[in-house]
Amino acid sequence: MMGPKEESLSPMGATIKHLWISMRPKQWTKNVLLFAALIFSQNLFKPGRVLLSVVAFIAFCLISSGVYLLNDLIDIDKDKKHPEKSRRPLASGVLDPAVAKTACVFLLALSFLTSLFINRVFAGIVLGYLVLQIGYFYFLKEAVILDVFSIAAGFFLRVIAGAEAIEVPISAWLLICTLFLSLFLGLGKRRHELIFLGEGGKDHRGVLKDYNVPLLDQMVGVATAGTVISYALYTLSHETIQKFHTQNLWLTIPIVLYGIFRYLYLVYQKEKGGNPENVFFEDRPALLSMVLYAIVVGIIIYS
């Protein structure tokens, strides 16, 4: 069913609108991780490296959208049976699959060409990200535990790509923290799917039959502890103190703890977590904690 606004659009306008929705621009917030290396390497005010980071961000936004279109094309029949995904343009039938295929190829090609503008290593990471996503769609998403590690690997590659784009080293502790945080978010997503979809979820995503809530709760606990401990060790490491010439980065630990506890509250008490990027941006306290964290880190690192 089309609303009044859609009825007033031309066929081309409606196609562009539905294609834009399928590209999932809200999901581009995940690509902000590419700026981590820029910020923590103290290059935020160097125009040349900022430009490279922005181009890298654009390249990942393009490939992310291409991958989402590919995902919707592969899962179109399954999505039709899903209570939420059935409203997506391809699953609902308002977007022509042929148009989506053309747009998918264009976005993936444009992303790779954009990545070559930066350097070959970055382009290799972009290509690796694409291979990972294709592997996830066809078999990794049905492999218990590996499915969540595959999701985490996507975030991990973003952080590494951000560092390679501006050719700076990145702390091993920061990478480990990223890995644990990604697992934390991925496991929360699986838990939400298991509860929200119930028994029907096992038909939509076969791997859910290998999970149960107590198991996922234990895994979330491990990932939570790993995130906090690895971040604390990063702020207190000799390498970090020597690099920033200050011990004060540990002052951000309470903010990180609050953000994680707030997310756990939203997952366990409010039964959210299906889309982590939406949870953080729709919940005001969580959003304020992220803004506060960015401000405090900026003051400590750049003052």
Q: Which phi and psi (to 5°) does residue 79 adopt?
A: -65, -30
Architecture per CATH, domain 45-170, reads as Orthogonal Bundle (1.10)
Q: Can you read off the two tokens belonging to residue 262?
A: 């707030």
Report the pLDDT averaged over residues 36-52: 92
Q: Quickly state the pLDDT bin for 200 (edges 50, 70, 90).
A: low
Q: Which phi and psi (to 5°) does residue 62 adopt?
A: -65, -50
Task: Give the whole-number percent of the chain exceeding pLDDT 90.
Answer: 57
CB 192 within 8 A of CB 242: no
56 vs 164: CA distance, rounded Å: 10
Task: State pLDDT tens for residues 100-150.
Answer: 999 999 999 999 999 999 999 999 999 999 999 999 988 888 899 999 999
193 vs 85: CA distance, rounded Å: 12
Domain residues of the chain, as ranges?
Answer: 45-170, 171-303
CB 179 within 8 A of CB 156: yes
Q: Quickly state the pLDDT bin for 57 (edges 50, 70, 90).
A: very high
Please check the confidence at residue 62 and state whether its pLDDT lies above 90.
yes
**What is residue 217's predicted lDDT score, i.e. its pLDDT?**
93
**What is residue 199's predicted lDDT score, i.e. its pLDDT?**
59
**What is residue 1's predicted lDDT score, i.e. its pLDDT?**
45
**What is residue 202's predicted lDDT score, i.e. its pLDDT?**
56
Residues 6+ apart with CB under 8 A from 106: 66
Q: Quickly state the pLDDT bin for 31 (edges 50, 70, 90).
A: very high
Mean pLDDT rounded to a whole number for the chain: 88
Residue whose tokens read 């535990």: 145
| DSSP state letter for 248 | G
Task: State pLDDT tens for residues 151-199.
Answer: 899 999 999 999 999 999 888 888 899 999 999 988 988 888 888 766 5
